[in-house]
Amino acid sequence: MIDSKIVDPAAAGGEENNEEASRHFIHEMIDEDIAEGGRFAGRKVHTRFPPEPNGYLHIGHAKAIVIDFGTAEKYNGLCNLRMDDTNPSKEDVEYVDAIKEDIHWLGYDWGDRFYFASDYFPKMFDYACELISKGLAYVCEQTAEQIREYRGTLTEPGRPSPYRERPAEESLDLFKRMRAGEFADGSKTLRAKIDMSSGNMNMRDPVIYRINRAHHHRTGNEWCIYPMYDFAHPIEDAIENITHSLCSLEFEDHRPLYDWVIANITSPGNPRQIEFARLGINHTVMSKRKLRYLVENDVVSGWDDPRLPTLGGLRRRGYTPASIRNFCDRIGVSKVNSTVDYAFLEHCLREDLNETANRMMAVLRPLKLIIDNYPADKTEWFEIENHPAYPEAGTRSVSFSRELWIEADDFMEEPVKRYFRLFPGNEVRLKTAYVIKCTGFVKDDNGNVIEVHADYDPLTRGGTTPDGRKVKGTIHWADTNTALDAEVRLYSNLFSVADPDSAEQDYLECLNPDSLEVLTGCKIECSLADLKPPANFQFMRQGYFCLDNKDSSEGHLVFNRSVSLKDSFKPNK
RNA sequence: UGGGGUGUCGCCAAGCGGUAAGGCACGGGACUUUGACUCCCGCACUCGUAGGUUCAAAUCCUGCCACCCCAGCCA
């Protein structure tokens, strides 16, 4: 087959060019850090991908994954996979395996370095005690509302909590009793003592521990206090000896707090946080909240609905890991809020599938073609190439007889300008079979064309023209005697507007009512009889399709259109 | 009115004082047993804006403008 054309992402050779292309500001910073005299001189670059197990991964995560794992790969370093499970109220094991599966599917592996933030709860507790002892944290008894009030606003400084100057011993005692479960949820917090008048809201004595009697998916009921992200994350990174903690832009003003924690505990490491812009793609939404709404309200069929930008959805749609990796590489990494054209993602898929997908013939909207001068009881078998560019991809046999299915729009009673398919009197080539000339057509009572008639030229067997005459159009077909029935699902943008996140309107009002078109009674060439997913191929002249990994069965074939072929035919020109 | 960021072609994005890469999209053409692929050609006298420094600025300096993020006991 054509497997030899598939580039192994781990193969050093193929990476060369990508390394050049994907060099960006983060790599420049890392270069400085590992250079002589740099912050991490002589150290191995070590990154991590830290998803919170509270939802499914989407293409935005894929960008982060490619940056985290790709950077480690580039520098011959390591990348850990770490579940950032510090909030039991929102997290669930349900997601853990799905996340691991998606990352593996993308082509990355974390070796034996799979961790949970919750594994570090004991150490975090100790670090919190250290902070308290140093007078850098205190137990606060203000209510959530009071804390908010005292925090001030963006333009006014905050006021100190009345518990701010409580003696360290008292805070330490209280904190231990918090952990022991002596106090009600929400009644007390542990706060870092930093600066209530800082222009950076994150530094106004941020809460670093809260009481929450929620069942944790791993630690059960062992803890009733849980660390906050700003306190936990730098510690997680430090414990794992991460050198570069890469995250998205909104954490930029959390960095001073990240550094404060590292600077004030007896830290086992000194990770550096670097932020980059998250990925946006037009005509879709990326927020977990909105995706969840679409799934839970049956706007789509599930987290793996082929219209969703989730990795499960893209996989089911027929996207290949290589195409997604390549997309992430090519969009670049910067600090500019940006929205990439959906067309670019599609381009990356076409580019990959054009090389790797075998060609097949399928008639999506069948119209009967009768070749009147072809014997009614005859059947011929043609050997058709699987890939025009790669003979090594082999051939397959396709039957041909007097009655065929052709695409409804490959015939026009009255052709538009520059139409060179079938119309009365015109010649067209049936791919790999014969050149035929349209002799007439039949309409039903409603005026719909239900049958097209033609004569074939026996001298053109194989589709060649011994006399050298030009036949401009070549169309695909399926033998009515052997074609298989199939259901084909055509997808287009889930949202009809480019920016459904815009405040101009409600995203739910912008749903594209035609994002899914289900075609039944499609006629597929017989060689497609026994397939098993994943199977990507091109339906000639139409697009790239794959077998649906959920709804397709032996007796009921279901195909998803991954992406259409480009079409430069403009009827109105 | 505070703090943190960002502004280079319709969309991404190089550029790091020496006179605007590349990709996508788009338009034109060649080739074609997929109107696909491939291949040519075109596509920012200009880098948010106004000044300044310099022989020379997208790159340095100053002011202004626009947009994004921050007031969870979410991450």
- d(Cα A262, Cα A131) in Å, to the nearest integer? 11
Q: Which residue is nearest to nucleotide B13 (CA to C1')?
A: A332
**Length A42 CA → B51 C1' (Å):** 47
Write out pLDDT tens, residues A446-475.
999 999 999 999 999 999 999 999 999 999
Supply the DSSP symbol for A216: B
Q: List the A365 CA – B43 C1' distance (angstroms).
A: 38
User: How many Å apart are A203 CA and B49 C1'?
Assistant: 34
DSSP code per residue over A36-74 = TTSTTTTPPPEEEE---SSS--BHHHHHHHHHHHHHHHH
Q: Which nucleotide is nearest to A420 (CA to C1')?
A: B35
Q: Identify whether A532 is a catalytic site residue.
A: no
Q: Residue A278 catalytic?
A: yes
Cα dihedral A36, A37, A39, A40 sign = positive
Q: Which of A39, A74, A288, A550 is catalytic?
A: A288
3-state secondary structure of A23: coil
Q: A516, A392 in Cβ contact below 8 A? A: no
CB A324 within 8 A of CB A106: yes
**What pLDDT is attached to residue A441?**
98
CB atoms within 10 A of CB A164: 15
Q: What is the pLDDT of residue A23?
A: 85
Give the CA A31 to C1' B43 distance in Å.
36
Tally Cβ neighbours within 10 Å of residue A205: 23
Taking chain A, what is the end-to-end CA distance rounded to the nearest angstrom?
40
Closest amino acid to nucleotide B69 (CA–C1'):
A250
Question: Of all nucleotides in the shown strands, which has a C1' nearest the CA of A146?
Answer: B73
Minimum-distance nucleotide, CA of A417 to C1': B35
Sequence-ordered list of residues with C-beta below 8 angstroms from that of A356, at least 6 positions apart, any chain: A2, A5, A6, A320, A536
Nearest to A409 by CA among A470, A491, A475: A475
Protein residue minimizing CA–C1' distance to B70: A201
Q: Scan for tokens 């919190």, then name that residue.
A: A128
The pLDDT value recorded for residue A169 is 98
| Residue A129 · residue A81 · CB < 8 Å | no
pLDDT at A509: 94
Strands A272-276 and A244-248: parallel
Question: Which strand B nucleotides have any atom less than 7 A from protein CB atoms?
Answer: 1-8, 10-14, 16, 22-28, 33-38, 67-75
Q: Provide block-wise average pLDDT over 10 residues at a time, chain A (573 residues).
A: 33 37 88 96 97 97 98 98 97 95 98 98 98 98 98 97 98 98 98 97 98 97 98 98 98 98 98 98 96 97 98 98 98 97 98 97 98 97 96 95 98 95 98 98 97 98 95 97 97 97 91 98 89 85 96 93 95 65
pLDDT value of position A533:
66
C-alpha–C-alpha distance, residues A385 and A390, integer Å: 9
Among residues A5, A19, A52, A365, the one annotated as catalytic is: A52
In Å, what is the separation between the CA of A84 and the C1' of B50?
A: 48
Q: Å from A547 (CA) to B25 (C1')?
A: 29
Which of these is catalytic: A159, A164, A278, A368?
A278
Nucleotide nearest to A200 (CA to C1'): B3
Residue–nucleotide distance: A401 CA to B25 C1' (Å): 43
Give nearest nucleotide to A157 (CA–C1').
B2
Residue A147: in which H helix or E strand, if any?
A: helix A144-151
> How confident is the model at residue A167, as a pLDDT?
98
